[in-house]
Amino acid sequence: MIPTAARSKPVGGLISYFKNLVMPIVSQHQAFKSTGSSMLPTIKAEGDYLVMNRDPKFRRDLRVGDIVQAVEPTSNSRRVCKRVCGLPGDMVRKDPRYKLSPRTQVPPDHVWLLGDNLAQSKDSRFYGPVPRKNIIGIVYAKCNIDENGKPTNVVKLVHTHPYLKEF
């Protein structure tokens, strides 16, 4: 949730845009600003506004390739934005940068999350599988905000990434 002090006209404009033009039901949707370089090049380190669906049913319907916001398991409050790279029962490489990296099986009711920028990401390689209950929502779009608070350069986020072929 965006703190009250951090809420601004641009985020309100973004929600309004998606409410009126893209999504008929906005109560389950939330916008937030990107921070950090773990999802480069898909999501800018600073400046992209992300829109996510917080509907709890999406926790059940996750797919490999989905980008999610989750609570980091080693912290009760730190939120991270990562890509789902493994579902319950999947065998995943602990580090897909290395072909000889050991594999691990994702336990029931957990997912394996990785940042797209592996060199700059603290993810499941460090804190292990993430409980499904820690998933806050699925990020489905990104955009910029113009000086009038209107979304520009709206991009639907796709469910593919080159290193997913390793799994």
- Residues forming the active site: 38, 82
Give me the long-range contacts of 17-21 (CB less than 8 A, separation at least 24): 17/150, 17/151, 17/154, 18/51, 18/141, 18/151
Q: How many helices (H) and strands (E) does the chain have?
A: 3, 10
Quote the Cα angle for 119-93-98, to 5°.
50
Contact of 143 with 153, CB cutoff 8 Å: yes
Contact of 123 with 113, CB cutoff 8 Å: yes
